[in-house]
Structure 1
């Protein structure tokens, strides 16, 4: 199975917070799921913890390499830029990753690398992996929270993504 590609400074274990969520499902392909992940305007329809989606420079509605966008999540106003974008190609994993940031001072600055991997496995299975590393004082607080809001929130995102793709496929 494939792994997330981590940029320097964001390798898990060397940041203040890390979360990893994964599902493996049947009955869906990367092509079924990709549109619901690659177009952020879909996110609020299946993931309640995302809102206020907008793109810069009249770009969008889909993500692509280098594209800048904005969204609100976990109470943070997140500026983001896509740093990895590999659309579905038969036989290889599809990938999306962005660098996101919020805040401007040492006390409120949060920097994240949020990555997604969609990979078809043997037996008609689809693996969806999302992992995020975070740096900054807000990340330290999130890492100590129990239950962990990042783990729970990203699991909701995964479950909603799968549900949205299944619903669309049945239509």
Structure 2
């Protein structure tokens, strides 16, 4: 199976927080799931933790390489720029990643790398992997919180995405 490509400064284990969620689901393919991730207009319909999505460069609502957008999640207004965008191609995983940040001083600033990998597996199965690393004081607080809000929130995103793809 394939893995997430991490930029320098965001490698798990060397960042302030890391969350990883993965689902392998029978009866779906990347072609079924990709539209739910690629179209940010769909996010709030199946994921309660994404709202106020706006694109700065008048692209959107679909993601694209280099697209700049803003959305509210986990109570943060996150600015984001797509840093990796590889739509589905037979035999290769689809990938999306963005650098996200919340402006502020040393106590409020938050920097994240959120990445997605979708790949078809034998037996009519799809693998959906989402991982996020974070740096900043808020990230350190999130890492120490139990239950972990990032893991629980991202699980809701995966569950909602899968349910939307099945519809």
Range of TM-score over shorter length: over 0.9
Q: CA deviation at 1:61?
A: 1.6
How far apart are 1:39 and its partner, in Å?
1.1
CA distance in 2, matches of 1:6, 1:156: 23
CA contact (8 A) 2:57 2:67 kept: no
Aligned to 1:142: 142
Alignment match, 2:47: 47
Tell me what 1:71 maps to.
71
d(CA) in 2 for partners of 1:157 and 1:120? Answer: 19
How far the C-alpha of 1:57 sits from its partner, in A, is 2.3
- Runs of 4+ aligned residues of structure 1 deviating over 2 Å after TM superposition are none
1:9 aligned partner? 9
Deviation for aligned residue 1:103: 2.4
Deviation at 1:161, TM superposition (A): 0.3
Q: Which SS does the other structure have where 2:41 is aligned?
A: helix
Alignment of 1:103-118 (within 5 A): 103-118=103-118
Q: 1:32 and 1:63 mapped to 2: Cα distance? A: 16
Query: Taking structure 1 as the reference length, what is the TM-score of the superposition?
Result: 0.96
Q: Partner residue of 1:156?
A: 156
Pairwise CA RMSD:
0.6
Segments of 5+ residues of structure 2 without an aligned counterpart are: none
Matched position secondary structure for 2:42:
helix
Q: Aligned to 2:127, what secondary structure does the other structure show? A: strand
* Number of residue pairs matched by the alignment: 167
- Tell whether 2:31 aligns with 1:31: yes
